[in-house]
Amino acid sequence: MSEIESSINVLIVDDHQIVIDGIISMLSTNKRFVVKNFAHTAEEAWALISVNSHDYDLVITDISLAGKTGIRLCREVKNLDHRIKVLILTMHNDVACVKEALACEADGYLLKNNGRDDFLRALDSLIERGSCFSHEIVPLLYQEVNQSRLKQPDVKLTHREQEVLELILLELTSREIAEKLFISKQTVDSHRISLMEKTGSKSVVGLIKYALRNHLIDIN
């Protein structure tokens, strides 16, 4: 595959030009990413994407924008072309914003206090593994999950898979789950694989996203 064919075309959305310039500068050190355009509002970004969504592979957007929010832009982008990945890059580190972003199927959620190296590693993770989240975000989600009870999912999970899913969301390891349920670690790993397949998840974060998106847990 040629360099042009394998490049990731990026649209940056932020209401501060200095932030846009900073992202462009960071991405210039990685030839994998090509900044095709930028916008200062969600409306400007949507005008670009709606004309030809295939021009873009990744949208990096803040939440707080004049007019429509970055969350709403994410929802519109995903409804138009689910192939496009959306990374929320923001200063908002509260659970409510993260929940809303996940519900709109954002592929990543990074805080603006990350440095260049962390930012670039996160982008690589987003492209290679399908998601990326600031290290501050996942504990917040786990904390909320830990305070909630799992509802019955609409996918057809066995009773044991339901138990394993709840314990995974409580951040227990396979060995800890095995000990708690009096089953082998190999059996737990088999249930993990089944859960990933049934929910379309690729990671534990994916399972958290699935649970939140499908309202399997009560988080107020």
- 156 and 197 together in one domain: yes
- 147 and 125 together in one domain: no
The pLDDT of residue 159 is above 60: yes
Determine which of 18-27, 93-102, 184-193, 198-207 has the lowest per-residue pLDDT on average. 198-207
The pLDDT of residue 179 is above 50: yes
Confidence class of residue 162 from pLDDT cuts 50, 70 and 90? confident
Residue 220 lies in a domain: no
Q: Would you give the distance in Å from CA 171 to the centre of its chain?
A: 18
What DSSP string runs through the chain? --HHHH-EEEEEE-S-HHHHHHHHHHHTT-TTEEEEEEESSHHHHHHHHHH-GGG-SEEEE-S--SSS-HHHHHHHHHHH-TTSEEEEEES---HHHHHHHHHTT-SEEEETT--HHHHHHHHHHHHHHS-EE-TTHHHHHHHHHHTS-BPPPSS---HHHHHHHHHHHTT--HHHHHHHHTS-HHHHHHHHHHHHHHHT-SSHHHHHHHHHHTT-B---
Between 138 and 186, the more confident residue is: 186
- 11 and 59 together in one domain: yes
| pLDDT at res. 157 | 81
What total of structural domains would you count in the chain? 2
- 16 and 113 together in one domain: yes
Residue ending a domain, choose from 85, 112, 133: 133
| pLDDT at res. 12 | 98
Between 207 and 23, the more confident residue is: 23
The pLDDT of residue 220 is above 60: no
| pLDDT at res. 2 | 42
Residue 196 lies in a domain: yes
- 170 and 186 together in one domain: yes
pLDDT digits (tens, 9 = 90+) for 30-43: 989 999 999 999 99
pTM of this structure: 0.72
Residue 61 lies in a domain: yes
Between 153 and 116, the more confident residue is: 116
Confidence class of residue 219 from pLDDT cuts 50, 70 and 90? very low
- 122 and 151 together in one domain: no
pLDDT digits (tens, 9 = 90+) for 75-133: 999 999 989 999 999 999 888 888 888 878 888 899 999 889 999 998 988 888 777 88
Share the mean pLDDT of the chain: 85
- 11 and 91 together in one domain: yes
- 26 and 75 together in one domain: yes
Between 11 and 219, the more confident residue is: 11
